[in-house]
A and B are shown apart, each in its own frame.
Chain A
Amino acid sequence: MRTLYFLLRKEFLQILRDKLILRMILVVPIIQLILLPYAATYEIKNITLAVVDQDHSEYSRKLINKLTSSGYFQLVDNSDNYAEALAQVEKDKADLIIHIPARFETDLIRENQSKIMIAANAISGQTAGLAISYSNSIIREFNNDIRLEWIQMPRTNTIPTIEITSSNWFNPSMNYKIFIVPGVLALLITLVGFLMSSLNIVKEKEAGTIEQLNVSPIKKYQFILGKLIPFWVLGIIVMTIGFVISFLFYGIYPEGSFLVGYLFAGIYLIALLGFGLLTSTFAETQQQAMFISYFFMLVFILLGGLFSPIENMPDWAQYLTYINPVRYLIEVMRMIVLKGSVFADLANHFIIILIFAVVFNLLAILNYKKTT
């Protein structure tokens, strides 16, 4: 026990001595957590719009008015022809073109139907999809207005209609930040824990100090624990700071219990640090350890469901996410913070992360023996 105490003191001193590293692992996550969620929004308010109105009729003007007063669109260009509008999209000045052809109003009244063309910059399919669906629904509304103007609607409904009502649970204000903050926090905990631990054993290897440790009376488990505990504590500190910031800046207070959250994160960190140590035992130089960590971190993050839902991935990718610890932390953080999920809802997550913790650490210890 005394040995472990001294080992821990040494590790903590080493971490605390390097001011830059300390600043990086405490300040950088704070800044990123404060700033970055504001960047994460798909909620589009300022779609830049180029209009080509070749009809110049009352209706075309009304339609343009309706579009621009909706709050979604910002009229940036009024061209006489489509080619000019297209040039605006090319220069990234406009996202969307609405082309109202000549005879729009006449056709609508005389032929009973009329046509409008909408073109969107679709390099980002998601933005284009949203822009088009907003404009479509505004046009549909406009269309209904016209119908009301021309037809005396019967008082009672003669056409069978299905009334669809929809509600949004768990995040009724549709606040994207509440969704993204727990995910970013999960990621920051992961980055700090993993980057610190994966370099650690290898650092001793490279500096040659591991030989000294090996000939000393320190037991293997003490050595591993001495490496694990400081980073575990750091991870928990980052998480706590993260919760405080989420509350102060975003007013996010978990629906569920902190205890369950910390319990899960505690086990998760053991698993993650074990993986970091495992990486460390495989590598011969810090440089190597870094590249390997970078590789896994990136794959873990990309397949973690932070920005794109796992459900939408193809099957093979979904299978890959099962062996991705980051996925589980992101899921659990979101479930606890937003849905107030309780321990029973998360039982599967707990079992899986426990298995990860055991397997990674066991492999790390076994492999550490082999390499020394």
Chain B
Amino acid sequence: MSQLITFIKKEFHHILRDTRSMLVLLGLPVVQLLIFGFAITNEVRNTNIAILDNSKDEATQNIIQRIENSQYFDLKRSLENNSQIENAFRSGKIKLAIIFQRNFQQELSHSNKAQIQIIADATDPNQATTLINYASSIIIDYQAELNQNNKLPYSINTEMRMLYNPELKGAYSSVPGVMGMILLLISAMMTSISIVREKEFGTMEILLVSPMKPWLVVISKVVPYFIISIINVVTILLLSVFALGMPINGSLVLLFSATILYIFCALSLGILISTVTQTQQAAMLVSLLGLMLPVVMLSGYAFPIANMPLILQIISNIVPAKWYIIIVKSVMIKGLGIEQVWKELIIISVMTAAFLFISIKRFKIRL
């Protein structure tokens, strides 16, 4: 036992001595969370648009005024004719063009019908839909004001409720995602690299012929990273609550226990990676190139899993982050208890056991 402690101490010294790496390891979650919490948002604001006003009358001026005043749009330029539209889009300067027909006001007051054409850059289809919706609703509002006295009969009004996240804060979906992603990537990467490092230098053989049992060597390498991960979790939770205004509605103890289990899972994945790679570079490629995009895209963080094709829905089940994110959302935001998340907890435990089992098998074969 005292041997193990000496080894862990040695590993700790190694890590602490390297201040640059420490800075990255501990600073990364902070930076990532701040970027996610504040910068990454799908909320539309200040989109550059162009207007082609073929009428230039009071009605069109009124509508343009409204569009300009909205927080969604920034009038970047006024176009003179149709041929300029395509150019404006192609150079990437605008995302939306609004075109008023000739004699807009006249048509509106005489034949009760006037036309506005909206063209969106649908490169990003979601953004295009949202922008068209916003622009249309500004125009519809204007029209409603014109028609204040003509109230429509038989109206069904809808009352909307946004459950769990009434202010629609982006942090509610990003914080669980960041926790799932960063804990998995950092833990898996750190562990795999630090074990493979010994292999690359040939010092692993020396460690293995020492009186220390092989698995104790591995444990002593994993413990410091486990502690770093715990520090990261605490930082992330503190930032989420105090900087991003996230609630912790459920039991903190449950959230923490689940997180520790998840970190075990990530660390054992790291050990597994270390058994299949021989160089640090390979370990890094496996843990970064191999894991980063799948974790972001298949964990349900960036895109809802329910919309994916069946085969991807099935594959998503082997992404540990998927299950952890469900737990974080349930406990942290919905305030649910263990009776609602036990299934996910078991799945993560089984994964951890599987990773360790395969690692031990491979470890023996090689030596």
Could you tell me which A residues sit within 8 Å of B by CB distance? 18, 20-21, 24-25, 28-29, 32, 35-36, 38-46, 48, 86, 89-92, 108-109, 112-129, 132-133, 136, 139, 142-143, 146-147, 150-151, 156-172, 174-176, 179, 184, 187-188, 191-192, 195-196, 199, 203, 282-283, 285-288, 290-292, 294-295, 297-299, 301-303, 307-309, 311-314, 316-317, 320, 331, 334-335, 338-342, 345
Contact = CB atoms under 8 A, between A and B. Distances in A.
| 9 tightest Cβ-Cβ pairs between the two chains A and B | A168-B122, A317-B39, A122-B162, A125-B168, A119-B161, A174-B125, A291-B24, A122-B165, A171-B122
A179 B64 CA distance: 30
Contact of A195 (B39, B47, B288): B288
Given A44-B307, A125-B172, A297 B163 contact: no
B298 interface: yes
A109 B166 contact: no
Given A44-B307, A285-B18, A122 B164 contact: yes
Given A123-B173, A334-B123, A115 B157 contact: yes
Interface in B44-103: 44-48, 89-92, 95
Interface string B306-324: 1111001001100000000
A171 B168 contact: no
A312 B113 CA distance: 34
Contact of A44 (B40, B193, B194, B304): B304
Contact of B154 (A150, A175, A298): A150
Contacts of B45: 311-312
Interface string B29-41: 0011001101111
A161 B112 contact: yes
Nearest to B173: A124
B120 A166 contact: yes
Contacts of A286: 193, 197, 280-281, 284
Nearest to B108: A160
Given A147-B154, A160-B147, A317-B40, 15 more contacts: A20-B276, A38-B312, A40-B303, A125-B42, A125-B165, A129-B168, A171-B125, A172-B122, A286-B193, A288-B20, A294-B24, A298-B28, A312-B41, A313-B41, A345-B90
B40 A339 contact: no
Given A162-B115, A302-B40, A43 B307 contact: yes
14 contacts: A39-B316, A40-B302, A115-B158, A116-B156, A117-B161, A118-B161, A122-B165, A147-B153, A187-B293, A288-B20, A288-B21, A299-B32, A307-B40, A341-B91
A18 B279 contact: yes
Contact of B158 (A46, A117, A126): A117
Contacts of B118: 164-167
A45 B307 contact: yes
A127 B133 CA distance: 16
Contact of B282 (A18, A45, A89, A147): A18
A256 to B, nearest CB: 10
A285 B168 CA distance: 44
Interface of B: 18, 20-21, 24-25, 27-28, 31-32, 35-36, 38-48, 89-92, 95, 108-109, 111-129, 132-133, 136, 139-140, 142-143, 146-147, 150, 152-166, 168-170, 172-173, 185, 189, 193-194, 197, 276-282, 284-286, 288-290, 292-294, 296-298, 302-304, 306-309, 312, 315-316, 326, 329, 333-334, 336, 340
B154 A143 contact: yes
A168 B102 CA distance: 22
A128 B306 CA distance: 14
A41 B303 contact: yes
Contacts of A188: 293
Nearest to A182: B123
Nearest to A302: B35
A116 B158 contact: yes
Contacts of B164: 121-123
A20 B282 contact: yes
Nearest to B101: A163
A105 to B, nearest CB: 11
A122 B169 CA distance: 9
Contacts of A196: 281
Given A38-B309, A168-B128, A192-B289, A162 B197 contact: no
A123 B165 contact: yes
A187 B294 CA distance: 13
Contacts of B157: 113-116
Contacts of A320: 39
A174 B293 contact: no
Contact of B162 (A112, A120, A308): A120
Contacts of A191: 288-289, 292
B194 to A, nearest CB: 7
A143 B155 contact: yes
B284 A166 contact: no
Contacts of A299: 31-32, 35
Contacts of A44: 304, 307
Contact of A120 (B24, B115, B146, B163): B163
Given A44-B304, A164-B136, A142 B114 contact: no
B32 A142 contact: no
Contacts of B277: 20
A79 B154 CA distance: 27
B281 to A, nearest CB: 5
Contacts of B282: 18, 20-21, 24
Contacts of B185: 294
A171 B123 contact: yes
B156 A161 contact: no
